[in-house]
Amino acid sequence: MTMTPQPPRPPWETTGWGYVLGLGLGFSPVLMEWLAGAFTCASSLGLRSAPCPDSTSANLQPFFLNGGLFLYVAIICFMFSCFVARPLRFVAYGLLTMVFVAPIIAVLGCSAISGVAHPLPSG
């Protein structure tokens, strides 16, 4: 009885790069939220923020904010499909990590970038 050779496994499954690939893909909504933070003006009322009054920021801030939320939902759907496919299981683990970590990183980074890009007037 002869054994048929198994096809080679993809490199992300054998070398452990699948988890890192999942982390990288899961970081894309964070980048969109950080860009939204660059176009967000901090308000003097504390935690409230709004688009800056100039026309460019007023148009780009909702675009990046909604784009980041859309990517977050798309990554959750992609994560479930990666869990079904056995070769992509480690990619799904990286995405699952970012599903829990990305909102925290996005909010902290967005507020920090917003404060640096548009500081409140002192006084």
Mean pLDDT of 61-90: 90
Whether the predicted pLDDT of 123 surpasses 70: no
Residue 42 confidence (pLDDT): 64
Residue 85 or 44, more confident: 85
Which helix (DSSP H) or strand (DSSP E) does residue 71 occupy?
helix 55-84
Do residues 26 and 98 lie in contact, with contact meaning Cβ atoms separated by under 8 Å? yes
Q: What is the CA radius of gyration of the chain?
A: 20
Mean pLDDT of 77-82: 94
- Cα maximum dimension of the chain: 86
Q: What count of residues does the chain have?
A: 123
Q: Is 82 exposed, middle or buried (0-12, 13-18, 19+ CB in 10 A)?
A: buried
Whether the predicted pLDDT of 37 surpasses 50: yes
